[in-house]
């Protein structure tokens, strides 16, 4: 596992022990990580310092745009958006500061979309009288409409964090639809719901109506908490042909006490309850027990042997309960979501999805 830059108080050190490699895997440069993190002397400073880094990267993007280099400007906008994203990802100390980072992230990412390759488009997915925001990216060059992978975020990830993963899928001719569900990103106003299959069904309904991808060849890929949502959705939503659960779990109650304080705090906010104890009670519903019986479509379960958040034993339990429908890959050296070895699991998952959605 890559060592995080030194510095910070206990919470900062805890965050980096668990998530430093996630920053690097998902688009934060080693330079920015090495420069910003050692200056975080207190966890309360984390969000502000990363917002400042996002502002710097946004200014660079604007300068590049003035030179007429549209693709480079879009890529720089994405870098800014990622800095804003990681400013607030597990941060709950200052609601106004978190909101500022979230809003700046969305603005930068949205500005980048038209000039990315393939380009992206913000979409609005009808959901229970409101809407979920999404980003649809459709690669060109193939014959007919491409298959599409729904990207399901975790507890503190959002649609914007999928950029580097999207590239691997697009290179294999797969369209992507990343979205914020309840308690995620722009829809943090909605409480977390364990029955996320209802959310995924609304997204599938949108894809069918939208018509830009082949709705008969839909897959899903979920990471972390999304790796719990994905198998549950695959079992319930028959219009999905295949799913990948990366760094997910079988039953959160089994490892609740071992979760980092920042994760338990994040779940308290996501469930919109007043205490960590109540969040722990609500988390008992985050279980796949009895949900995968009779699964008749393909599921790839990916775990990390060194995962200290979602134990590899849980990945094995998911695959065991899914039976013949499941393929299981445990990378012995992998951490949470195997973010320390993205070059191993992401191509594997993308190849597997491309094969299943042919």
Question: Which residues are the active-site residues?
Answer: 224
CA–CA separation, 95 and 85 (whole Å): 14
Backbone φ and ψ of 348, nearest 5°: -60, -50
Ramachandran category for residue 264: left, alpha or beta (phi over 0 → left; psi -120 to 50 → alpha): alpha
CA–CA separation, 45 and 310 (whole Å): 28
Cis bond leading into 229, ω under 30°? no
CA dihedral angle for residue 40, residue 44, residue 45, residue 50, rounded to 10 degrees: 100
8 Å CB contact between 179 and 132: yes
Q: Which residue has the tokens 């800014």?
A: 80
Q: How many CB atoms lie within 10 A of CB 129?
A: 5
Ramachandran category for residue 141: left, alpha or beta (phi over 0 → left; psi -120 to 50 → alpha): left
Inter-residue long-range contacts of 265-274, CB under 8 Å, 24+ positions, other chains counted: 265/90, 265/92, 266/90, 266/92, 266/155, 266/156, 267/155, 267/192, 269/92, 269/183, 269/188, 270/155, 270/183, 270/188, 270/191, 270/192, 271/183, 271/191, 271/192, 272/191, 272/192
Task: Tell me the three state secondary structure of residue 121.
Answer: strand
State both tokens at 217.
Answer: 């060849």
Closest CA to 191 of 129, 270, 282, 126: 270
Ranges of beta strands (E only) in the chain are: 120-127, 130-137, 148-152, 175-179, 218-223, 240-246, 298-304, 326-331
């Amino acid at each position: 596992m890559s060592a995080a830059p030194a510095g910070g108080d206990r919470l900062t050190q805890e965050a980096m022990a668990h998530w430093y490699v996630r920053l690097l895997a998902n688009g934060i440069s080693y330079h920015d990580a090495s420069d910003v993190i050692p200056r975080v002397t207190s966890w309360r400073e984390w969000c502000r310092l990363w917002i400042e880094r996002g502002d710097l990267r946004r200014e660079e993007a604007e300068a590049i745009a003035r030179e007429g280099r549209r693709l480079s400007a879009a890529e720089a906008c994405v870098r800014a958006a990622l800095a804003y994203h990681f400013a607030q990802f597990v941060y709950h100390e200052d609601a106004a500061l978190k909101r500022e980072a979230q809003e700046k992230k969305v603005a930068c990412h949205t500005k980048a979309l038209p000039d990315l390759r393939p380009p992206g488009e913000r979409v609005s997915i009808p959901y229970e009288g409101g809407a979920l925001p999404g980003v649809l990216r459709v690669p060109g060059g193939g014959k007919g409409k491409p298959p599409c992978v729904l990207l399901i975020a975790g507890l503190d990830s959002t649609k914007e964090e999928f950029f580097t993963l999207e590239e691997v899928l697009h290179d294999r001719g797969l369209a992507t639809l990343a979205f914020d569900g309840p308690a995620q990103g722009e829809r943090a106003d909605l409480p977390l719901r364990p029955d996320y299959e209802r959310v995924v069904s609304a997204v599938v309904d949108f894809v069918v109506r939208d018509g830009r991808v082949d709705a008969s060849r839909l897959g899903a890929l979920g990471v972390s908490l999304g790796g719990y949502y994905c198998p549950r959705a695959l079992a319930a939503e028959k219009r999905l042909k295949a799913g990948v659960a990366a760094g997910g779990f079988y039953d959160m109650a089994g490892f609740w006490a071992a979760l980092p304080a920042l994760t338990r705090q994040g779940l308290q906010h996501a469930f919109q309850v007043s205490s960590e104890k109540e969040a722990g009670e609500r988390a008992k519903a985050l279980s796949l027990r009895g949900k995968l019986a009779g699964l008749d479509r393909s599921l790839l379960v990916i775990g990390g042997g060194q995962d200290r958040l979602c134990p590899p034993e849980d990945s094995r339990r998911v695959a065991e309960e899914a039976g013949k429908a499941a393929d299981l890959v445990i990378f012995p050296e992998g951490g949470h979501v195997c973010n320390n070895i993205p070059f191993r699991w992401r191509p594997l998952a993308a190849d597997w999805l491309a094969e299943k959605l042919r």
